[in-house]
Structure 1
Amino acid sequence: MDLEQNFRPGEVVYIIIRNPHAQDVAHVQQAAIVQHPEQPNKLALFSHDNYYPLTHEFAIFSTEEEAEMAYQEAFGRVDGEYHG
């Protein structure tokens, strides 16, 4: 299945992303679906001034609530910790 068929440019999604400096740290982050800047026929995720390839390596959710639920299932919850 082609992941790009599920999204349109300008759509806002939520992803679970790991901290590149601490692999045991992850959080939910808002991202936008955009045209890939270097490959005009491809889509990309854009968040915090970074482009990420639109691949199955990302857990992509339509709502922040869905992403938070998946995060809690995968990583648990630390009391008082915010992941948004």
Structure 2
Amino acid sequence: MNNLHEGNSIYIFYRNPHTQNVATIEEATIVQDPHSGELALALYNTFYPITEDLAYYTSLEEAETVYNDYFGDTF
């Protein structure tokens, strides 16, 4: 977590809130949350807190490899 800085792009797995069995790789940006002042993940005009539970990847290739290992070779 210490290597995340404002402006960084990261890749995360994002589950569709309407169809829970669908997950995609999404690019998110590290920003300062205007409400808390803390660093946060910005995705789809929403700020998400950065916690120790956050699994993120610094490259799309890395995210695709882990995605395929976890979900099967479907990406």
Q: TM-score, normalised by structure 1?
A: 0.79
Kept in 2: contact 1:12–1:30 (CA 8 A): yes
Runs of 4+ deviating beyond 4 Å: none
Which residue in 2 is equivalent to 1:9?
Answer: 6
Mapping of 1:24-43 within 5 angstroms? Answer: 24-40=21-37, 42-43=38-39
Q: How much is the aligned-residue C-alpha RMSD, in angstroms?
A: 1.3
Question: How many equivalent pairs are there?
Answer: 75
2:73 to 55, 60, 77: 77
Shift of 1:6: 2.2
- Among all aligned residue pairs of Structure 1 and Structure 2, give the percentage whose two residues are the same amino acid: 40
Is the strand fraction higher in 1 or 2? Answer: 1
Which residue in 2 is equivalent to 1:49?
Answer: 45
Gaps of 5+ in 2: none
